[in-house]
Structure 1
């Protein structure tokens, strides 16, 4: 486990974003004094897609179950305020499609015809004319 500053210096993009805010910059938004930040990912899969991260650097969900719970809790509060259908998704490890080794939870709003097909559902594949 590294400090946020150490991880930022080592190249963690999420820790760099947190340190930028801590040092007086702007960018991602902290939820109150929770230590949880949220922002739009580089490639949102649906409109409104957000990432929720803890300020402290943990590589993935299994490294810090309590922090994972807190991040999910704040993502769920965010979802409740929006009142729409959604997925909360966490990937842990490269074999599970985690591309940034910093604990993060995806909030993915869902709408009819949004084009995002999850393989464990009975959704039909999106037609080529639908947008994601």
Structure 2
């Protein structure tokens, strides 16, 4: 897909730190991690969001789940559309390791969690 940074990374045309690969999915370190260990898990194939291709999204989620299984506490997040905070139009799942006092406040976080 033209002008898609994640497609450029998948094709090797843009730099990224790739930390793990699966047959249809890979995980990278984002440019601006919001917690230590924050990763993005995304399909090689361009799909605009997690709702476009449910089977490919399921494979991406399964890969994210493998990464989360290695952590004591974590969130897996994805967004669809600008109103839901999607900033890159290529499906991706955030794996967010969590630690007490990490400063990442989610809308449903209790006040004592940050």
Task: Using structure 1 for the length normalisation, give the TM-score.
Answer: 0.78
> For residues 41-92 of structure 1, what are the alpha-carbon distances to aligned partners after superposition, in whole Å with 9 as ceiling and x for unaligned?
1110000000000010000011111111110100111121x23200000011
Q: Is it true that 1:119 corresponds to 2:101 in the alignment?
A: no
State the structure with bigger RCO (CA 8 A, min sep 6), 1 or 2.
2
Structure 2: gaps of 5 or more residues: none
Say which one has the larger Rg: 1
**Of the candidates 17, 31, 43, which is equivalent to residue 21 of structure 2?**
31
* Number of residue pairs the alignment of both structures matches: 113
CA distance in 2, matches of 1:78, 1:95: 27
Checking the alignment, whether the CA contact within 8 Å between 1:41 and 1:49 is kept in structure 2 is yes
Aligned to 2:11: 19
Checking the alignment, whether the CA contact within 8 Å between 2:47 and 2:90 is kept in structure 1 is yes
Question: For the aligned residues, what is the CA RMSD?
Answer: 1.9
Task: Using structure 2 for the length normalisation, give the TM-score.
Answer: 0.90
Give the number of the structure whose residues are more often helix, by fraction.
1
Secondary structure at the aligned position of 1:57 is classed as coil
Structure 1: gaps of 5 or more residues: 1-6, 127-132
